[in-house]
Amino acid sequence: MPYPWSEVLPFEFTESGSNSHDRLRLILRDREGHQLLRLTAQDVEQVARLLFEEELLRARSARERGETLVHGRFTLDTAGLAVDGEVHPWSTVREVSAEDRSFVIVALHGTWRRIQVPCSEVPHLRAVLTLARERRAHAGDRERRA
C-alpha cells in the first residue's frame, strides 16, 4: 500500500557494527508505528535528505500559521520546546544537538539540566533539530533587543 510522505515517520540513527564501525540506519514507520521499510548505508543519506526537506517545508509553513509542531515526544511552539509534556521555554534552552546517539537539550531552570532522548525515538530528527535551533535563535534575538 502506498503512503504519502506526510504519513511516513523517519527514525534515523546509528548502530554499532563490526570492527567498531557505526552504521547509519533509517526506519520508516506509519503513524501507528508499523515498520514500512528499513534502509541501510548509502540509501539512508539520500532518503533522509528528501524526507528532511519535505518535513522542513511543511513544518515551517505550519509554524508561520501559528500551529504547534508535534514530532513524537517533542512539541515545538512559540512558548518553548516540550519533551514528554515538560515545557522548556525558549529563553531557558541553551543548546539543542544530536550527539552520541542522543537528541540533547541543555536548559537552565535555576540549575543546568541536560535532557537526552535516543535519536532512534525522534521522528524527523534533522527537521526537529533545525526547527528547534531556528526557534532558539529567534528567541535569542528577541532577548537581545529587549
Determine the average pLDDT of the residues in 77-101: 92
In sequence order, the β-bridge partners of residue 118 are 102
List the domain boundaries for the chain: 5-145
In sequence order, the β-bridge partners of residue 109 are 111
Task: Measure the CA–CA gap between 57 and 102, rounded to whole angstroms.
Answer: 24
Higher-confidence residue of 86 and 37: namely 86
Claim: this prediction has a pTM higher than 0.85: no
Residue linked to cell 525558549? 90
Determine the average pLDDT of the residues in 44-54: 83
Round the CA-based radius of gyration of the chain to a whole number and report it.
Answer: 16
Query: For residue 98, what are the contacts with CB-CB under 8 A and spacing of at least 6?
Result: 104, 119, 125, 129
- 3-state class percentages of the chain: helix first, strand second, coil last, to nearest 5: 40, 40, 20
pLDDT-derived band at 115 (thresholds 50, 70, 90) equals very high
Q: According to the model, what pLDDT value does residue 104 have?
A: 94
Residue 84 has pLDDT above 90, yes or no: yes
Q: According to the model, what pLDDT value does residue 48 have?
A: 80
Determine the average pLDDT of the residues in 13-37: 79
